[in-house]
């Protein structure tokens, strides 16, 4: 184990591992340092480009980005000094001049700006040509007018999910995020895992199903994705007893990541085509796939669970008695949940 280091953080003497950053140590001790371009989910590296996490270190001329900087023995660090707070507020006010009203009201950026009590009108808005929203993707809406170039979506796509779809093009004031060769997102090779949406701090990337905002006031419900046996943990955000969006939770099998089904495939819950009770085929109705899902009762009738299970069991038993046990077979699938796979065996 590496030897611990000792230093002062906001007039408090602390010890920590030399592998920890100032931001990580501060969070562990209950100190709040703003951040936008850094995400403390597993495997995200700090980038230090947004400069909203700057702290003051005695004896150093410039402030340091706490998400990247690691402390040394004897260092004296101030996270709430007048200079550090002033610089962070100035950074937020400058960032605010480059984004329009497309930024989500309850996004991380908006909540951070409110908590820091910034002046949204201190600097004049930059005269940029308004960019059209990219609605080409069925699950994700792109609003580049709300982008602050924090690079979180690029790291999420390239380094975390390793899909390598999102990148940066052009330079300076014209810099922007792009998909593949500057294609519309819906025409790109995006697999719709949604990791970029989950980490975007402004709502420049958001779920298409959300017509108003990114967050609700209701507490999320912790659950497990029902789509397969991996057991990804999820946070279900709800409003009026309906799921509004899904976030990956930090579980042992997924570490906060989700696939396209786990993140966006929850509309079946309220689908009118969802079966909510057992059905038994009507006598004389042909077997086939050309059944209108809107009207299954044209070929089936409603039944109780007891009747349906008895009919299925009797059918298996009759087939076994006529053709032998070798005539019965079943197919499992990785798409089954662990509970379903256990019952199947």
Q: Quick check: 295 pLDDT over 90?
A: no
Give the closest residue to 226 by CA, choosing from 345, 343, 336. 336
Give the closest residue to 93 by CA, choosing from 124, 70, 131, 139. 124
Question: What's the pLDDT at 84?
Answer: 96
Question: What's the pLDDT at 126?
Answer: 67
| Residue range 261-288: mean pLDDT, rounded | 89
Q: How confident is the model at residue 271 (pLDDT cuts 50, 70, 90)?
A: confident
Does the pTM of the predicted model rise above 0.85? no
Collapsing DSSP to helix, strand or coil, 146 comes out as helix
Q: How confident is the model at residue 119 (pLDDT cuts 50, 70, 90)?
A: confident
Per residue in 310-321, pLDDT tens?
Answer: 999 999 999 999
Q: How confident is the model at residue 333 (pLDDT cuts 50, 70, 90)?
A: confident
Name 310's Cβ contacts closer than 8 Å, sequence gap at least 6. Answer: none
Query: What residue ranges of the chain are covered by domains with CATH 3.30.70.20?
Result: 121-215
Q: Quick check: 95 pLDDT over 70?
A: yes
Strands 166-169 and 300-302: unpaired
Contact 140, 185 (CB under 8 A): yes
| Residue range 5-23: mean pLDDT, rounded | 95
Question: What's the pLDDT at 44?
Answer: 94
Q: Quick check: 2 pLDDT over 80?
A: no
Question: What's the pLDDT at 290?
Answer: 81
Cα distance between residue 22 and residue 227, in whole Å: 39
Q: How confident is the model at residue 53 (pLDDT cuts 50, 70, 90)?
A: very high
Candidate from 136-140, 171-175, 215-219, 225-229 with smallest mean pLDDT: 215-219
Q: How confident is the model at residue 209 (pLDDT cuts 50, 70, 90)?
A: confident
Contact 208, 264 (CB under 8 A): no
Burial class of residue 308 in the structure, from the number of CB atoms within 10 Å of its CB (0-12 exposed, 13-18 middle, 19+ buried): middle
Q: How confident is the model at residue 102 (pLDDT cuts 50, 70, 90)?
A: low
Cα distance between residue 267 and residue 106, in whole Å: 23
Question: What's the pLDDT at 79?
Answer: 96
CB atoms within 10 A of CB 239: 14
Candidate from 31-45, 68-82, 127-141 with smallest mean pLDDT: 127-141
Q: Quick check: 215 pLDDT over 60?
A: no
Query: What residue ranges of the chain are covered by domains with CATH 3.10.20.740?
Result: 5-91
CATH (one of 1.10.4080.10, 1.10.3720.10, 3.10.20.740, 3.50.50.60) for 5-91: 3.10.20.740
Write down the mean pLDDT value for the chain. 90
CATH (one of 3.40.50.10580, 3.30.70.20, 3.30.1130.10, 3.50.50.60) for 121-215: 3.30.70.20
82-85 contacts, C-beta under 8 A, 24 or more apart? 83/56, 84/54, 84/55, 84/56
Question: What's the pLDDT at 254?
Answer: 93
Counting residues of the chain whose pLDDT is more than 90, the rounded percentage is 62
* 58 vs 267 pLDDT, higher one: 58
Residues counted in the chain: 345
Q: How confident is the model at residue 117 (pLDDT cuts 50, 70, 90)?
A: confident
Question: What's the pLDDT at 128?
Answer: 63
| Residue range 136-155: mean pLDDT, rounded | 93
* 125 vs 328 pLDDT, higher one: 328
Question: What's the pLDDT at 100?
Answer: 66
Counting residues of the chain whose pLDDT is more than 70, the rounded percentage is 94
């Amino acid at each position: 184990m590496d030897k611990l280091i000792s230093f002062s953080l906001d007039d408090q003497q602390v010890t920590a591992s030399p592998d920890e950053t100032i931001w990580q140590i501060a969070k562990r001790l209950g100190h709040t340092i703003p951040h936008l371009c850094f995400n403390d989910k597993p495997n995200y590296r700090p980038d230090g480009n947004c400069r909203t996490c700057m702290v003051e270190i005695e004896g150093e001329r410039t402030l340091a980005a706490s998400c990247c900087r690691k402390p040394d023995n004897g260092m004296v660090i101030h996270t709430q000094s007048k200079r550090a707070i002033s610089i962070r507020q100035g950074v937020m006010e400058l960032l605010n001049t480059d984004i329009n009203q497309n930024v989500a009201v309850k996004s991380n950026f908006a909540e951070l700006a409110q908590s820091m009590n910034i002046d949204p009108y201190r600097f004049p808005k930059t005269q940029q040509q308004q960019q059209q929203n990219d609605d080409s993707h069925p699950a994700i809406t792109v609003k580049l007018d709300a982008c602050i170039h924090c690079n979180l979506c690029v790291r999420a796509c390239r380094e975390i999910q390793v899909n390598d779809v999102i990148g940066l093009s052009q330079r300076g004031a014209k810099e922007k995020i792009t998909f593949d060769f500057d294609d519309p997102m819906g025409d790109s090779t995006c697999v719709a895992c949604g990791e970029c949406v989950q980490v975007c701090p402004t709502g420049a990337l958001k779920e298409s199903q959300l017509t108003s905002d990114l967050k609700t006031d209701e507490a999320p419900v912790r659950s497990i994705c029902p789509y397969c046996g991996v057991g990804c943990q999820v946070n279900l955000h709800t409003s009026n007893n309906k799921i509004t969006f899904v976030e990956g939770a930090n579980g042992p099998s997924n570490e906060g990541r989700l696939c396209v089904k786990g993140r966006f495939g929850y509309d079946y819950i309220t689908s009118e085509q969802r079966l909510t009770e057992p059905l038994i085929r009507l006598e004389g109705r042909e077997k086939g796939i050309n059944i209108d899902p809107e009207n299954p009762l044209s070929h089936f009738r409603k039944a109780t669970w007891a009747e349906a299970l008895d009919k299925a069991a009797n059918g298996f038993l009759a087939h076994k008695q006529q053709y032998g046990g070798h005539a019965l077979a079943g197919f499992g699938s990785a798409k089954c949940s662990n509970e379903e796979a256990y019952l199947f065996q």
